[in-house]
Structure 1
């Protein structure tokens, strides 16, 4: 706009929030968009404005004091005029507000009717605002509820996605009725891994966004940023994840209907995203463990397993890795019988005292094993047969036995035992002494 003679003209007209931090939105067809706050700040510059005043009218083409919804503000001669405006009343939900330019000579001492004010035309001098339909208490409750939902979905993201499908299947078949109940509620959700993940993340982001926008309508500027950050970090991340990392299964089971609901609501977006992830990444890879990892898990965790049971389990798991050399007994410590020993009462008592089911028999030297006898072989010996020797018992029963190398796996050796073959480590190609002492399986 240009100045013509002494007529007032406005060249710049900007509307900011009351703290001058935010420029109000502007629609070219309608004008400036005012928020729920009735206060804002104007920055005006132009020509010949010092002898004029402005006011805001609720009616189009009407610039009388009866129609004003704000005080009358006098304009100064400054190059940029700054005014803090306070609207007093707005009667409609979508209410248009118009700017009136009033010559100072038209303002009477008692602010009576002002008939000669000029209403400035165009969207740059027109305002409209949406009057809030929610009371402040309702807004605060809604903000808290949205951030609680954000925390709920954030916790579920950690609690549910950290549970593998295999773990849930094991829990669903466990003896603990509570764990079975929880696992059966969560397993159908967890099977839809990427769909569930997309739904939870989308619901979490949506809750955060809505909560932040609504909080901004209550407080503005820096307070809104600090408030939303604190709410998201505390209610939306730290607290729920700390809880769900420990009780994710329990919480997920009790809220499975709410989770299904979020998947249905966000399904139009989350299902296609999950489908694409399935095609790109493939099916979810289940966790697998080696024997060593399982052994360490059993020994480290506080499992409900007694030490004897644990020893049996860990021993079985280590069979394939361990060799015969590691399980052999020192030859001097092996209970064995000389083939020429009499089967008298002393021998029978000695055999039953040791209680071994299979006893090696040697000839001349302990390293020269010629066979084995079983404990039950001596059960039917009578005093009249005390003159017999161990060799007679050995030759009479002639129990078969096999041979094993010191490097053979204990697992393979166990399979031989299961077949009923009595196996002795007896490889003549090996050195007679191992670490200074001969060993016998």
Structure 2
């Protein structure tokens, strides 16, 4: 009986590897298959959490059965040999033999076999698993719901890092540790899945775009001043973006007259995304659609900002500067160990990374704002005048430049009450 349970344990362990190593392409072909076993495999994988819960329940039941029967058999053996049931030698032999048998025959061998023949193995055990899923449905339901509850609790605390994400982190850091700060990369990866496009986008105020009413020479002048390789095109208003102009499409026509119909070169397959989209999802969209730029829109369809593939990558590896980038364009200047000058439009996400300020505190006080200027408006509760200042958790914010509509430049001093007593 113990050998039968050991065989059953191997089949269950192999099933777990076989089913969850099937590729998305394989699973997709099963949907319309005429083979009933392939249809069973497809239906089992439609609810992967329920399938996994069933496999875990079966595996634990069988392993407990093996241990129970082995213990009973060892007691019988001890009685026939006039040994005590709690003899340490007997206990040691039982532990070693049962553990070795379960690990080798119930785990290693079947999993290695199933990983090489996952499709045939999955089809062979489809009937057994279909019956088990139905029979153990109440227990699997309870187990999956307990798992969902724990997962939600962890998400509320901001713990959303998977094993795969950590593996990716280790690989990236290993490859780049000689040239890039490994700690910064790890922080970027951990926060990657919780960052929205609104937090890292270029705001609509900073978008370099051209109007369809411009002539060719005006467009080329705007392109030369911007230095970008792709530029949005709008009609009448930036809220009505009609496409993206790729500068490489204009290169063969740079000698044309101002009447040249450059509008014919505009690519109209613009990629629009909502403000609350996560950047890890957007990165996959960029890969699938093979585009490098997206327009961010609000709930009313108006243009909120713009985001590029480079913006997303910089969230992991930090700022990527080429020979055309100017440091001041990063939006800040460090005057000394404690003092910074920031543009008011600097995103709070970048502000926290540059200064190592507490992101939780900043998020709590910023409301719906995503920029440093927006944070100060929340703190002042009005449009401040130049040289007005406000303190927050050891930070002094002093407005250096402001106009009627926005805060343009801010001085930030850390540990201000110890650095400069006159400021207190």
Q: TM-score, with normalisation over the residues of structure 2?
A: 0.35
- Identify, as 1 or 2, the structure richer in strand: 1
Question: Between Structure 1 and Structure 2, whose CA radius of gyration is higher?
Answer: 1
The structure richer in helix per residue is: 2
Q: TM-score, normalised by structure 1?
A: 0.34
